Structure 1
C-alpha cells in the first residue's frame, strides 16, 4: 500500500482524530519545507516563503487580522523548525492519547481548536494592550497553544497518571504540566514572548475545559456543531430527522443493549479518576466512560 493510500485511509476513519491531527501537522510541515527549498533554488532568496507564511500565521495587528480571520486556526498547524514540531507532536501523541481514550475523539479535536483560539486571544490581548509589546508587529505560528491545552486537560483529568521519563523515572503528569506552565511564564521575557503567552492561553483553556466538563458543561459543543456542519457540507449528507413513535409500555422494558450512562455517573467516575487515577476504575466504569465519550 502506498503512502498516499495510507494517508487517505487515516483520514477516512471517523475514530482516528489523534492520528489525523498529527498527520495534518506533518503534511503542512513537509509542504512548507519543500516550498521553501523550491523558492530558494529558484530565486536564491531565503525569505521568499514569507508572504505565504504571513498569509497563514496569526498577525498581532488587529487590522491585518480582520483581512485574514482564518489565521486564528491555521497558525496552529504551521512549523518550520524540526525540533519544534517534534516536541509538539510527541506531546500531542502522549497526552492526546489519554484525552482521546477517556473523553473521545470529538473532545480531543475540540480541545485542540479551543486551545488554538485561547492562545490566539491571549496573544492578541497582550500585544495590543501591554505597553511592553504594543507597537511591535509580530506573527504567531505553531501548535504549542493547542498542545498545551491538551496537556493541561490530561493533567487536570488524570493528575496522578505517570509517564516514565529518561533519567527521572515515573513522573506524575500534574508535575509535568506544572513545570510546563512555569517555564512558559518565565519565558515571556525571553526571545519568544508571543509563543509563551499563547502557551499560557492554551493552558488556561485546557484546565477550565475539564473543570467545566466535570460540572456537566461541554465547552467543545460549538466546535463539534461547526465540525458537523462542515462535514455535511463537504459530503452533501442531509440532516437526519428522528421521528419518535409511541410504543406499548412493555416494549420499552426490553433490553436493546447497554444503556447510556447519565451525567451524574460520568461526573462520579471523573471525580474518582481525579482522586485515584484511571487505574482505580473497574471494568464497568471504564466501559461507561468510553460509552459516554461516544455520545
Structure 2
C-alpha cells in the first residue's frame, strides 16, 4: 500500500479526527519545507513567503477583510520544526483524552473553535490595547497553539486529576500541566516577549476550552455549528449509494396502531450524561462505576 493509499484510508475511517488533524498539519509543514528550500536556493524564496502570507492571520482588520479564510488556515500552518513538534505532541496526548471520553467530533469542535477564539482575541488586542496601538505593532499569526491549548484546558477541566507520566518529571496531574501552560502564555503576552501575538492567541484558546466543557456540562454543545458546517462539506464529496428497493413483511412487533417506531435501547439521555460529567468534574473519572463509564462511551458514539 502506497503513502497515498494510507492517507486515503486514514481520511475515510470514521472517528479518526485526531490522526487527521495531525496529518493535515504535518503535510502543510512538509509542503513548505520540501518546496520552499529549493525555491530559496534558486532565488525564488519570495514565492514561499507570499504563500505563507496568504495562510497567516493578519492583525490589521483591513488586511483580514481581503483574506478572511486565514482565521482557519493559520492554525494548520507552522514554520519551525520545534513549533510543530511540540504542538503535535500536545495535540496527540491531550487529544487522546478528549477522544476517549467525549468522542472525535468534540475534539474537532474544540480544535476549530479554539483556533478561532485565539485568532479573534489576537486581532482585538492588537487593535484595542494601547501598548500595541501606540507603537503601531502589527504582525502575522500562524500555528496550532491556540487550538491545542483549548484541547489541553478542556481535558484538564473535564478530568483535572487525570495523570500523565512526563519524561524526567514523572506522574503529573493534567490540571497542573494546563495551569503551567496558561501562566507561561500570560507571562509572555506582552510586546517585549517576541511572540506577544502568539501568546495572546494561546489565552483565547485556553478560555474557549474551559468555557466549552463548562457549557457541555450544562447541556450546551458549542460545537454544533462547527459540526454542521463540516458535515455539509463532507456530504458534498461523499459518494451516494445506489438506491435499492426491497420488500419484506412487517412483523407484528413493529406495528403499533398502524405506525412504525424505532429506538436505540440503552442510549443514555442528556440529563444522565450531564450528571456523569458533573461527577467527573467533582470526583474524577476514577469515581465512575462501570455502568456510568459505559454510558459515557455510548454518548460519545452518538455524536
What's the TM-score, normalizing by structure 1?
Answer: 0.92
Instruction: Find out whether 1:225 has 2:233 as its counterpart.
Output: no
The answer to whether the Cα contact below 8 Å between 1:158 and 1:278 also exists between their aligned partners in 2 is yes
Does 2:92 correspond to 1:84? no
Which residue is equivalent to 1:12?
A: 12
Q: Once superposed, what is the RMSD of the aligned Cα atoms? A: 2.1
Q: Which residue of 1 aligns with 2:115?
A: 116
Once residues 147 and 228 of structure 1 are traced to their aligned partners in structure 2, the CA distance between those partners, rounded to angstroms, is 22
Aligned counterpart, 1:184: 185
1:271 to 2:278 alignment: yes
In structure 1, C-alpha distance between the alignment counterparts of 2:29 and 2:139, rounded to whole Å? 21
2:130 aligned counterpart, secondary structure: coil
Map Cα deviations across residues 107-143 of structure 1 (whole Å, 9 max, x no partner).
Answer: 1000000001000010000011112112222100000
The question of 1:199 aligning with 2:202 is answered: yes
Q: What is the number of equivalent residue pairs in this alignment?
A: 286
Which among 252, 262, 268 is matched to residue 269 of structure 2? 262
1:280 aligns with 2:287: yes
Structure 1 residue aligned with 2:247: none
Determine whether 1:107 maps to 2:110.
no
**Corresponding residue of 1:61:** 60
Instruction: Decide whether aligned partners of structure 1 residues 162 and 46 sit closer, same or farther in structure 2, where only a CA change above 3 A counts.
Output: same
* Contact 1:266–1:292 (Cα < 8 Å) also in 2: yes
Compare CA radii of gyration and give the structure with the larger one: 2
Q: How does 1:113-262 map to 2 (within 5 A)?
A: 113-134=112-133, 135-189=136-190, 190-235=193-238, 237=240, 247-248=255-256, 258-262=265-269
TM-score by length of 2: 0.89
Q: CA deviation at 1:46?
A: 4.9
Show the counterpart of 1:30: 30
Which residue of 1 is the match for residue 297 of structure 2? 290
Runs of 4+ in 1 over 6 A off after TM superposition: 251-254
Q: Is the 8 A contact 1:160 1:274 kept in 2?
A: no
Distance 1:152 1:138 in 2: 26
2:277 is paired with a residue of what secondary structure? helix
Cα deviation for residue 35 of structure 1 reads 2.1
Q: Distance in 2 between matches of 1:21 and 1:52?
A: 21
Cα distance in 1, alignment partners of residues 291 and 28 from structure 2: 41
- Residue in structure 2 matched with residue 243 of structure 1 by the alignment: none
- Secondary structure of 1:258's aligned partner: coil
